[in-house]
Chains A and B, each alone.
Chain A
Amino acid sequence: MSHGDIEGEAGPVQVRGTVLTVRRVDAYHAMTIVAPGVAARFKPGQFVALAVGGPVTPMLLRRAFSIHDVRPDHGGTVEIVFAANGSGTQWLAERRARDVLDVAGPLGRPFPVPRDPVSCLLVGGGYGSAALFSLAGRLRERRCSVDFLLGAASGDRVFGALTARRTGRTATITTEDGSLGSRGVVTDMMGQIIHEARTDVIYACGPMGMLRQVTSLARRYDIPVQVAVEEKMACGIGVCMTCVLPVTGSDGITRMVRSCVDGPVFRGEQVRWDDVGTIPFDCFGAPGWEPRSRRAAGLSGTARPARGR
């Protein structure tokens, strides 16, 4: 997939969505929205950007949520899972059935899925695991085996433990306070699972710190890892340039790429985790940066991290 083709694919749509249900799921809220067109185009790993606060809201920035699930009912619904920890998400949590929301999506690059029936480990942190269940369905269609490893600070913050147990070949839960599963963090258990499940590929979604640790462990075992990052976004569609992070492309050049359109899914080892929040000195366009070949540099302004298998 090349960046230049965004309009050639089934691109995103902006629709007036109607809230179907909002319910509490432990520490989180799950919201189902009738959003025809979004559901039909969705691929696992993609997200929606919602306007919050109503028509004259002082909150101008869209909120991005990974899509938990889509269903064909009512012309197409999408479900998101979120923690109401800011004024925008609190407003969302107060919505009721039949309220109308401005929905843009599906956005971003989806998880690439293997061609062959391989052994997949899906690692989720907090409500980040919401993005993994539709992926698991897709992987099972490809005859892949799916092991889940979900973690959070406490049991009520582990999203989808039951579903993981019901649908995964195995499901391992970790919590920092030990209130559910084993006490610790997901990476404490990763090595053991990789051995037992003979993991071929890892998918991860959750906080940046966790993704960094998962990537580092995956590298140690030489297993490809696909991560879906959570960066703060203002627009979600690629125009605001606020959600950038340093990613090394297959050409070996590091660029500040947008997690909304060049991601949110990246190959873990291509993200320069240690340099997130900085402009690495060797980054394309950093102060003092010199193109190796002026022409080649000019032709590749945005990163195209190579896809995994």
Chain B
Amino acid sequence: MAADLRARLGQAELPNPILTASGCAGSGRELAQFFDVSKIGAVVTKSVMLAPRAGRPTPRMAETPSGMLNSIGLQGPGIEAFLQRDLPWLLSRGARAVVSIAGGTVDEFAELAGRLSDAAGVSAIEVNISCPNVEDRGQVFACDPGAASTVIDAVRRRARYDIPVFAKLSPDVTDIVAIARACVAAGADGLSLINTMLGMVIDVDTMRPVLAGLTGGLSGPAIRPVAVRCIWQVREALPDVPIIGMGGVRTGKDALELILAGAALVSVGTTIFHDPSACIRIVRELEEELTQRGVERLSDAVGLAHEPSAAARRRLTGTTGVGRTS
């Protein structure tokens, strides 16, 4: 029998745990040319801000081994256009919408949460406090537990009670668990791990940085081990907090790796650029991977790598319901 892929996002049930990663799928419209966006767990939108934003100059992109650097700088039409055009479109297609928000100030985040709460149909808010492509490093709220918790607290207060709030964290910190704890203490219902890592590429012919913005965010399979490590550490410290895992997922096997580390949901990002129908393919592959391993329910595999091997094996064969070791 095929594994049961159903997953939870707050009180809602998703048909499967595969989401798009913010910034890699627009608002779903372009990908809908290649697959039915209602068939994946949810579409996580490109981060929306209060005002329209032109982003950073070009070149905005550099290919790196098994990855890429991007320096888009949060280009987007702003919340007004998003609410009038993009969100209704997603809902009309039967897709579930997780809306990523970004802001330069705590008030901007709070205002965005308020605007989204007034609109119908938002499945969750992902708070992007970790975009590396901002002028001021001080705006990367996820680099500081105090700043991170201030933003999350403000968003949680303004967001409608039944909309789950996920904090998206940066791997570019000394202790991601400290940031995760601060966000959860401030009211985050879940955590999204991980955003891109800050990187740089220099063209040896022009002898200048390739990106106009000089630095950019590194994504793709190159950072998957970092994602697995971050998810593992946070799951170990906060076993009851739902995690959306992302970072270099290319196949169903990769998704399973993040799930075993502790992710309840998995976002697919850079791989979409390589394969526009990647999300729906990964849903299929994940189902096969779980079925092959005799895992009946997706939820049985979440965080399984933390359990001693004997317990994990017993749990899979269904002889006992071993609890988590924490």
Contacts and interface: CB of A to CB of B under 8 A. Distances in A.
Interface stretch (B4-12, B53-61, B143-151, B288-296): B53-61
B196 interface: no
Contacts of B192: none
B31 A51 contact: no
Contacts of A232: 58-59, 61
A40 to B, nearest CB: 16
Contact of B52 (A51, A238, A291): A291
A14 B60 contact: no
B201 interface: no
Contact of B81 (A237, A240, A298): A298
Most B CB contacts (10 A, CB to CB) among A287, A297, A302 go to: A297
A251 interface: no
B278 to A, nearest CB: 10
Interface string B46-67: 1000011111111111010111
Interface stretch (B116-124, B174-182, B269-277): B269-277
The secondary structure that dominates the A interface is loop
A235 B273 contact: yes
Given A242-B70, A256-B54, A298-B84, A285 B78 contact: yes
Interface stretch (B21-29, B162-170, B227-235, B299-307): B21-29
B85 interface: yes
Nearest to A246: B54
Contacts of B26: 238-239
B220 A60 contact: yes
Contacts of A104: 34, 276
Contacts of A102: 275
Nearest to A88: B63
B173 interface: no
B238 interface: no
Interface residues of A, number: 49
A102 to B, nearest CB: 7
Given A11-B33, A242-B72, A285-B52, A234 B276 contact: no
A239 B54 contact: no
B199 interface: no
Interface in A2-24: 4, 6-7, 11-12, 14
Most B CB contacts (10 A, CB to CB) among A244, A278, A286 go to: A244
B75 A7 contact: no
A240 B77 CA distance: 15
Interface string B235-257: 00000000000000000000000
Contacts of A241: 23, 46, 55, 60, 72, 75
A189 interface: no
A239 B55 contact: no
Given A7-B33, A239-B26, A244 B55 contact: yes
A86 to B, nearest CB: 9
Interface string A104-142: 100000000000000000000000000000000000000
Contacts of B274: 51, 60-62
Contacts of A298: 52, 77-78, 80-81, 84
A199 to B, nearest CB: 32
B54 A284 contact: yes
Interface string A241-259: 1111100000000011000
Contacts of A299: 81, 84-85
B58 A244 contact: yes
A246 B4 CA distance: 48
B202 interface: no
Contacts of B80: 294-295, 297-298
Interface in A255-309: 255-256, 261, 276-279, 283-287, 289, 291, 294-295, 297-302
Interface in B202-245: 212, 220-221
A245 B270 CA distance: 22
B24 A279 contact: no
Contacts of B221: 58, 60
B284 to A, nearest CB: 15
Contacts of A51: 274-275
Closest 9 CB pairs of A and B: A301-B77, A298-B80, A285-B52, A242-B61, A285-B54, A301-B81, A235-B273, A238-B30, A58-B66
Interface of A: 4, 6-7, 11-12, 14, 51, 58-62, 102, 104, 231-232, 234-235, 237-245, 255-256, 261, 276-279, 283-287, 289, 291, 294-295, 297-302
8 contacts: A60-B67, A60-B271, A61-B273, A232-B61, A242-B70, A285-B54, A298-B80, A300-B81
